[in-house]
Amino acid sequence: MKPVFDRVLVALDLSYMDSRLLQMTADMAPVLGMKKIYFLHVMPEFFFPGIPETSLPVHLEDTLPVDEQAKEHLKAQVAQVFGAQRGLETEVEVVEGYPFQTLLHWLDVKHIDLLVAGRKAVEAGSGITARRLARHSRCHVLFVPDQETPDWHRILAPIDFSQHSARAVEAALQIRQARPATALRALYVMNLPLSDYYMRKFDTEALRHVLREAAHQTCDDFLEDLGLTTESMPVDFVENVEGSISRHIEAQATAWGSGLLVLGAQGHSAAAQLLYGSVTERVVDGAAPQAILVVR
């Protein structure tokens, strides 16, 4: 079943990141088929915004509650970026509470399909880190990096041949279908035995060759199940010589000039650590400049 992105929540914090989140969401809305978007800002308390890098006007009106001022400020930003996109419903909310817990609560009660959140190099102390969201959110998550909004017309989709990676590929294909000029590649990072790992009586290179051939055959079967071929979606095979799948993913994305990584939330097993789980968290938590779409 293809991923659904009908109901979206954008987590705003009155910082410089808001404009980037809004622009990325506006660009993605027609591509992913968004139907309703909630723009949510959670204040720890209404008496004072408490945001170090707030974009809220410094001189607050004494006669107007701070939450209402924040809401009007955000509504103006949303209107400026989105205008009147046909078939798209938007709603701006400013609520009081613990930011992380309140955000997760809203994801549940509003039946959110996709959360759009910032991925800052340095967090402001709200407790909403990219790693925590990747681990605890039960919906898809789009992380927008802490820099210029990336060019996401080159998409890299790491795969491990699991059902979760198949859903990630389907999401990437959905984007390419809406934007045919989008370039899409898959990546498989192979865990092969080190050349000196086994005793000399074993032909290690022969074993490595067998494992490479098996990976290519499994990949062909994986693509065939999705109605694809390596011609319609090229696949790069990279050996995990660094002992870190996440670093290989980041390096390949940067080398290819990808602006968007599409990752499955889990792989075959946490013990095997083939691709997802802890690896996804490391990619999300890393310094890669790409936007990251985590598909569940």
pLDDT, position 2: 81
Which residue type sits at 20? R
The CATH classification number of 7-145 equals: 3.40.50.620
Given this model, what pLDDT does residue 33 score?
Answer: 94
CATH class belonging to 154-295: alpha beta
* pLDDT for 259: 94
Q: What is the pLDDT of residue 178?
A: 93
Q: Do domains 7-145 and 154-295 have the same CATH topology?
A: yes
* Domains of the chain by residue range: 7-145, 154-295
Residue 56's pLDDT is 55
| pLDDT, position 203 | 58
Residues of the chain short of pLDDT 50, as ranges, are: 49-53, 58-59, 268-276
pLDDT of residue 149: 60
Q: Crossing angle, helix 278-285 and helix 245-256, to 10 degrees?
A: 50
How far apart (Å, rounded) are the C-alpha atoms in residues 241 and 71? 50
pLDDT of residue 154: 95
